Amino acid sequence: MPRPISATVSVSALAHNLAAVRSHLDQTAAAAGGVPPSIWAVIKANAYGHGIEQAVAGFSKAQGLAMLDLDEAVRCREAGWGGPILLLEGFFNPSDLEIVDRYHLSITVHQREQLDMLARARLSRRVDVMLKLNSGMNRLGFSPAAYPAAHERALLLQQQGVIGSIGKMTHFACADGPQGITEQLAVFNSVTHKMTGPVSVCNSAATLRFAEVAVGSESQAHWVRPGICLYGASPFADAEAAAFGLKPAMSLRSEIIAVQELKAGDSVGYGALFRADRPMRVGIVACGYADGYPRHAATGTPVVVAGVRTRLVGRVSMDMLIVDLDPIPAAGVGAPVSLWGEEGPSVDEVALAAGTIGYELLCALAPRVPVTRDA
Ligand SMILES: Cc1ncc(COP(=O)(O)O)c(C=O)c1O
């Protein structure tokens, strides 16, 4: 018998979340009298832990897919995705361009070295590029001072038949927080307003809170790049995914594999971090940090056992964690445990209790956890 832990990825929840984002964008565009943006569903990091093939199935109605790894892009093509694919970091060396060419990928161009490589490349067809501006995050992108010259070079490569369309792109550092996008958007607009081509600026947080900036017109197409919200998790510390009509796409489940009866004063787990203040039952769950459950989740982190919400107690160990069974007296060995997902808690609640974000937990699901795909 394998350990009773598994993750389920719901393709219908992925599709539902995409449709929810689509509807939000359509409503925003209708209210503004403009053209709704297209969606690049971001599926980097193995689709935030959900699996590339599941993402291709769940996001079949997206206009495009965006990711980092060439291998993942190739897997999308092999899984039957014929639409646009954007590589969010572009390419890293000249040999990557052969794959870009063969699999008809679009690329982010964020630095001079990439333009140099493109100038030397021998491609069988034009490659569409999104030219990235560093509008203040200081991660990837041409500085505002360097961007116009980079754009001129891209135009030259376009005239030479190397580049196809040239889009304008940036990434917001604070769309999820009180600072918002105002400053970076002002930089982006001031640098790029005279340049034509598709525009892409919004991640999940900006798509959900500032969709009006992604409304296009007949002459100006817009694309948004949501990631985390499509998996049913929230990009915000102060708002739950469910508030946006999103459904969790990944459910991590296990079972109680042993029960201990504690006397007042007994402790559980490494470091004896939790001590019972009265007689109580605790359940040992087959799930630990080697499965991707966060070791920093503290006593009190929500866990659902047999449909009832209870709490983690003590320190998470490599293969097991311990839960308070007092609210569920009937639960014994074999009782179902939901660590996060459909039956709750949400991955964001667990992340909060562990001092991290849902993104990290979803991406960190360990390869040893078997993943089943739900319709
Ligand atoms: C360039 C870019 N666009 C979009 C996204 C999607 O972000 P999120 O998952 O917050 O929607 C990311 C993720 O980090 C990104 O790096």
- CATH class in words for 250-373: mainly beta
Q: Which two tokens stand for residue 183?
A: 């400053």
Within the chain, all domains assigned CATH 2.40.37.10 are found at: 250-373
Q: Which two tokens stand for residue 74?
A: 């190739």
Distance, in Å, from the CA atom of 298 to the CA atom of 136, rounded to the nearest integer, reads 35
Distance, in Å, from the CA atom of 371 to the CA atom of 6, rounded to the nearest integer, reads 6
Average pLDDT over every residue of 293-307: 98
- Which residues are catalytically annotated? 44, 270
Asked if 284 and 259 touch (Cβ cutoff 8 Å), the reply is: yes
Q: Would you state the pLDDT for residue 113?
A: 98
Kindly report, residue by residue over 59-88, the tens digit of the pLDDT.
999 999 999 999 999 999 999 999 999 999
Using the predicted structure, report yes or no on whether residue 311 has a pLDDT greater than 80: yes
- Atom 9 (ligand 1) nearest CA: 227
Q: Would you state the pLDDT for residue 1?
A: 74
Residue 157: pLDDT band (50, 70, 90) is: very high
Asked if 240 and 257 touch (Cβ cutoff 8 Å), the reply is: no
Kindly report, residue by residue over 246-264, the tens digit of the pLDDT.
999 999 999 999 999 999 9
Within the chain, all domains assigned CATH 3.20.20.10 are found at: 11-244
Using the predicted structure, report yes or no on whether residue 375 has a pLDDT greater than 80: no
Q: Would you state the pLDDT for residue 2?
A: 84
Distance, in Å, from the CA atom of 304 to the CA atom of 251, rounded to the nearest integer, reads 12
Average pLDDT over every residue of 175-189: 98
Kindly report, residue by residue over 110-156, the tens digit of the pLDDT.
999 999 999 999 999 999 999 999 999 999 999 999 999 999 999 99
Q: Which atom of ligand 1 is nearest to the CA of 40?
A: 4
- State how far the alpha carbon of 246 is from the alpha carbons of 84, 179, 370, in Å: 25, 24, 24
Distance, in Å, from the CA atom of 59 to the CA atom of 118, rounded to the nearest integer, reads 30
The per-residue pLDDT of the chain, averaged, comes to 97
Q: How far is the CA of 171 from the centre of ligand 1 (A)?
A: 8
- CATH class in words for 11-244: alpha beta
Q: Would you state the pLDDT for residue 218?
A: 92
Using the predicted structure, report yes or no on whether residue 300 has a pLDDT greater than 80: yes
Q: How far is the CA of 226 from the centre of ligand 1 (A)?
A: 6
Kindly list the protein residues whose Cβ atom lies closer than 6 A to any atom of ligand 1: 42, 88, 171, 203-205, 225-228, 235
- Share above pLDDT 70 across residues of the chain, in percent, rounded to a whole number: 100
Q: Which atom of ligand 1 is nearest to the CA of 176?
A: 10
Mark the binding-site residues, compressed into ranges.
139, 318
Q: Which atom of ligand 1 is nearest to the CA of 204?
A: 11
Q: Would you state the pLDDT for residue 71?
A: 97
Average pLDDT over every residue of 180-190: 98
- The pairing of beta strand 321-324 with beta strand 274-275: unpaired
Residue 57: pLDDT band (50, 70, 90) is: very high
Q: Ligand 1 pocket test: which of 135, 171, 347 has the largest number of ligand atoms within 8 Å of its C-beta?
A: 171
Distance, in Å, from the CA atom of 330 to the CA atom of 161, rounded to the nearest integer, reads 71
Distance, in Å, from the CA atom of 87 to the CA atom of 10, rounded to the nearest integer, reads 25
The phi, psi pair for 24, rounded to 5°, reads -60, -40
User: What are the residue ranges of helices labelled H in the chain?
Assistant: 11-32, 44-48, 52-58, 70-78, 96-102, 112-120, 147-159, 182-192, 204-209, 347-353, 358-363
Using the predicted structure, report yes or no on whether residue 367 has a pLDDT greater than 80: yes
Kind plus residue range of the DSSP H or E element containing 65: strand 64-67
- The pairing of beta strand 274-275 with beta strand 336-340: unpaired
Kindly report, residue by residue over 322-350, the tens digit of the pLDDT.
999 999 999 999 999 999 999 999 999 99
Mark the binding-site residues for substrate, compressed into ranges.
139, 318
